[in-house]
Structure 1
């Protein structure tokens, strides 16, 4: 049996988030069908293109709705080439017997490095001065912040937070962290969030999105930050009440902010924030390096290889309900 796999990435997204090397390796294993339109696939288009496919490898712009799993009785697995599976109806996939997987976090170093870049830019007004010079104006000359004597507070101390803490410590910064899990990393002072907000020159939000963390950074949180401090969000837009952030910037309580995520479509920074002179906004590029994106692409290649070898692939999130997988394993045995 030849396994047929649909790769949902548009050509532009495929070039940035999958890459030729991973695609070539995938083609050595299976028959690959590419999505060649510049528009992301909606559910109807996905059903049409995956009609005779065994596996879908989906980028994060492609949803896995219940109708998809109901309409494709031959679909065995839906592999997400990302960690975020919130746009996949996993219960519906489980009811249909379709395996769902996710990729691992290959972007830890890339996002952590962007966090350091944001702090350097904010601390010295690099983007602001560059924009003024480019417009033919003389930039305002303002006193900077020296990172080696500054304090950074990291909200959410997972893999990215730990790497940010390591890099910030190497710069001589005092590193505070707030997380419900006990932190044992040397050089990190674990504190409650309220203390972190009040002591930090830079607050970096890296918390996970949970019902209890939505709008974690609200008016009260921004008011608790030190006057003249900076806010950075590299996690998810849902964590921040943007109206409260804008208000804190408007009244001068915060000196500036940097965001790589927001509440615009596809987690992009919102125009209301991105258009401000006191905000550095990047278009959700935290994990956009060849090393980071190929890591997740090769995760999906490994998952396909596991299916071909009759193994449960790594990253499976509903293995106990993947009844269609048993049929595929029998046919490939």
Structure 2
């Protein structure tokens, strides 16, 4: 290994083993890959990432932002869909390009959303609670649970209509469910092609039987779904969240569920992760939940490893990553677009 080889730091923790397993694109160009402990502070970030041109940085409790103190750093790859663990504004100001792997678990996360939707609409947690308390005959628990829903008579509102939201729309329409969406960045003709009607934000919450949240987490979307929007929902409606926990005001959601302002919720993400046995939301009888499993299948986790190693190898070779989070950045190292070769 030459002294001037491209050096990559890979933080340990979430799925780093899959990156190591699929490191071949980096090995093929002579790049070094070192697994380092995930930092928990500014000082640790500077200490552990100094001397590296690339960082593959997974989720943790520390938000990476010390780019000015890492002058050799060219690019960061987040082996995730969301990039809230990287300060994109700071990276852009410092000339550090940031990429992610946004498609590794689109279908898998939509599958998880559908599981939560079906469980919430059919009131599965409530039915199981009744069964556990001794009401085990159909006649007993049926009469104790109000308004067991039916997908065929329901309207689902998608809050956000990106990759995962679109995949959810395809799934629920197979059940005969009407789809509406609040998606101000999507054109009406584009939504129409998906069988989805665009509506205003308040209409989405007021008209639907199911509200499914599919937004990226940014400072602007923190507690986007708050007590005010929850109050607009039907008392028979369910809220679903497979995006990021802090997009929904969790305390307000707990209050709405406890008071009967809404009937049910299905959640895969939480404001504080991982959830603990004391997390209020998971202890409610009208909540179906999973511990952030949306992207966790044997297929998708290998895609993370393959995509992260491949995209960091692109940066090492002087190319923009395929999925660039901050395309407006002026990179410290000149980068070119990868494309088809010219034909003579």
User: How far apart in 2 are the matches of 1:263 and 1:269?
Assistant: 14
- Tell me if the contact between 1:231 and 1:258 (Cα under 8 Å) persists in the aligned partners: yes
What does residue 329 of structure 1 align with?
A: none
What does residue 60 of structure 1 align with?
A: 59
What does residue 298 of structure 1 align with?
A: 306
User: How far apart in 2 are the matches of 1:23 and 1:267?
Assistant: 32
- Tell me if the contact between 1:213 and 1:239 (Cα under 8 Å) persists in the aligned partners: yes
What does residue 150 of structure 2 align with?
A: 146
CA 1:161–1:53 in 2, change beyond 3 Å: closer, same or farther?
same
Moved more, 75-84 or 156-165: 75-84
- Aligned runs of 1:199-218 on 2, under 5 Å? 199-209=207-217, 212-218=220-226
- The answer to which structure has the higher helix fraction is 1
| Match of residue 105, structure 1, among 89, 103, 106 | 103
What does residue 44 of structure 1 align with?
A: 43
TM-score (normalizing by structure 1): 0.81
TM-score (normalizing by structure 2): 0.79
- Tell me if the contact between 1:104 and 1:315 (Cα under 8 Å) persists in the aligned partners: yes
Cα deviation digits, residues 274-295 of structure 1 (max 9, x gap): 2222212222221222333333
| Match of residue 198, structure 2, among 169, 174, 190 | 190
Q: Name the structure, 1 or 2, with higher relative contact order (CA <8 Å, separation 6+).
A: 2
Superposed CA RMSD in Å reads 3.1
Unaligned runs of 5+ in 2: 336-344
Question: Hey, which bits of structure 1, 4+ residues long, moved more than 6 A?
Answer: 266-270
What does residue 14 of structure 1 align with?
A: 16
- Aligned runs of 1:1-333 on 2, under 5 Å? 1=2, 2-10=5-13, 13-15=15-17, 18=18, 21-23=21-23, 25-29=25-29, 30-35=31-36, 41-61=40-60, 63-66=63-66, 69-130=67-128, 137-138=134-135, 141-142=141-142, 144-180=148-184, 181=186, 182=188, 183-209=191-217, 212-265=220-273, 271-316=279-324, 317=326, 320-324=329-333
- Tell me if the contact between 1:57 and 1:80 (Cα under 8 Å) persists in the aligned partners: yes
Cα deviation digits, residues 240-289 of structure 1 (max 9, x gap): 22333222212223221111122114799991212222212222221222
User: How far apart in 2 are the matches of 1:267 and 1:78?
Assistant: 28
Corresponding residue SS for 2:260: coil
Corresponding residue SS for 2:22: helix
